[in-house]
Amino acid sequence: MIAAAISLVMVLAAAFAPWIAPHDPTDLARLDLLDARTPPLWLEGGDPRFLLGTDNQGRDMLSAILYGLRISIGVSLAAVALAMTIGVTAGLLAGYLGGWVESAIMRVADVQLTFPAILTALIINGVARAMFGASSVDGAEFWILVVSIGLSYWVQYARTVRGSTLVEKNKDYVQAARLIGVRPLAIMFRHVLPNVLGPVLVIATINLALAIITEATLSFLGVGLPPTHPLSARWCVSATTFCCRANGGFRCFPVSRSPCWRWR
pLDDT in tens, 62-119: 877 888 788 888 888 999 999 999 999 999 999 988 889 989 999 999 888 888 878 8
Q: Please answer whether residues 150 and 77 qualify as being in contact, where contact means their C-beta atoms are separated by less than 8 angstroms.
A: no
C-alpha to C-alpha distances, 121 to 117, 142, 244, nearest whole angstrom: 6, 13, 31
pLDDT > 80? residue 214:
yes
C-alpha to C-alpha distances, 130 to 123, 124, 137, 144, 162, nearest whole angstrom: 10, 10, 9, 12, 34
pLDDT at 128: 76
Q: In angstroms, what is the C-alpha Rg of the chain?
A: 23
Q: Please answer whether residues 52 and 67 qualify as being in contact, where contact means their C-beta atoms are separated by less than 8 angstroms.
A: no
Collapsed DSSP state (helix, strand, coil) of residue 43: coil
Q: Please answer whether residues 128 and 144 qualify as being in contact, where contact means their C-beta atoms are separated by less than 8 angstroms.
A: yes
Q: Compute the residue count for the chain.
A: 264
For the chain, what is the mean pLDDT? 78
pLDDT, tens digit, 9 for 90 and up, residues 164-198: 999 988 888 888 988 888 888 888 888 898 899 88
Name which of 152, 25, 27, 154 is nearest 83 in CA terms: 154
* Cβ neighbour number for residue 79 with a 10 Å cutoff: 27
* Cβ neighbour number for residue 57 with a 10 Å cutoff: 16
Mean pLDDT: which of 4-8, 24-28, 257-261 is highest? Answer: 4-8
In the chain, where are the structural domains located?
72-261
pLDDT at 82: 94
pLDDT at 182: 86
Q: Is the whole model's pTM more than 0.85, yes or no?
A: no
Q: CATH number for the 72-261 domain, one of 1.10.3720.10, 3.40.190.10, 3.30.70.1560, 3.40.50.2300?
A: 1.10.3720.10
pLDDT > 60? residue 13:
yes
pLDDT band (50, 70, 90) for residue 242: low
Euclidean distance between CA atoms 54 and 67, whole angstroms: 14
